[in-house]
């Protein structure tokens, strides 16, 4: 007798499992193509862009607020911020009311780097999405993924 996922309490259906696998594969493929494009243009990794963009949109931010927005582990963010600060892309200052707190903000060099990275990133998005889906398909995919997301709309 074959036991299907439908028959096991707490398990997912085959259709949901297949959708999950395709979602992860598509995510990895898209990120890989973006990272490859950034490397080819001799630009830093995508996570640097994400930090700079969040700081541009909302900055300055405390470390913990930046961590929540980026969904990175604290130790990963600390190392990333250290590297970016060493490159002169961001700066940290202590909070006046809490010595443990730090404000992080972009520098002029950080703003310029993010602006240089965007055209490469945008072209990689076009290659990964627009070249493979029609506009209605891309819109439908966006709507479906939004239903799966717990994140606020961008």
Average pLDDT rounded to a whole number, residues 109-126: 96
Nearest Cα neighbor of 137 from 38, 26, 47, 12 is: 26
Average pLDDT rounded to a whole number, residues 19-34: 92
Query: CA torsion angle for 102, 107, 109, 111 (degrees, to 10)?
Result: 100
- Residues paired with residue 93 on neighbouring β-strands, in sequence order: 103
151 pLDDT exceeds 90? no
Quick: pLDDT tens for 41-91.
Answer: 999 999 999 999 999 998 899 888 898 888 667 778 889 999 999 999 999
1 pLDDT exceeds 50? no
Task: Kindly list the domain boundaries of the chain, sorted by start residue.
Answer: 13-129
Q: If one looks up domain 13-129 in CATH, what number appears?
A: 1.10.10.10
What is the DSSP code string of 93-123? EE-SS-TT-EEEEE-HHHHHHHHHHHHHHHH
Q: Bigger pLDDT: 62 or 120?
A: 120
Cβ proximity of 60 and 52 under 8 Å: no
């Amino acid at each position: 007798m074959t036991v299907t996922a439908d028959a096991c309490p707490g398990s997912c259906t085959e259709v949901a499992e297949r959708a999950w696998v395709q979602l992860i594969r598509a995510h990895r493929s898209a990120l890989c193509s973006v990272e490859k494009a950034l490397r080819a243009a001799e630009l830093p990794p995508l996570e640097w862009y994400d930090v700079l963009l969040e700081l541009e949109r909302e900055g300055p931010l405390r470390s913990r607020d930046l961590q929540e927005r980026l969904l990175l582990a604290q130790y990963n963010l600390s190392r990333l911020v250290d590297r970016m600060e060493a490159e002169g892309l961001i700066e940290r200052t202590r909070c006046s009311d809490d010595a443990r707190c730090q404000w992080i903000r972009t520098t002029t060099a950080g703003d310029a780097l993010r602006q240089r990275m965007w055209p490469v990133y945008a072209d990689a998005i076009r290659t990964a999405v627009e070249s493979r889906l029609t506009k209605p398909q891309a819109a439908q995919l966006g709507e479906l993924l939004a239903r799966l997301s717990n994140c606020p709309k961008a």
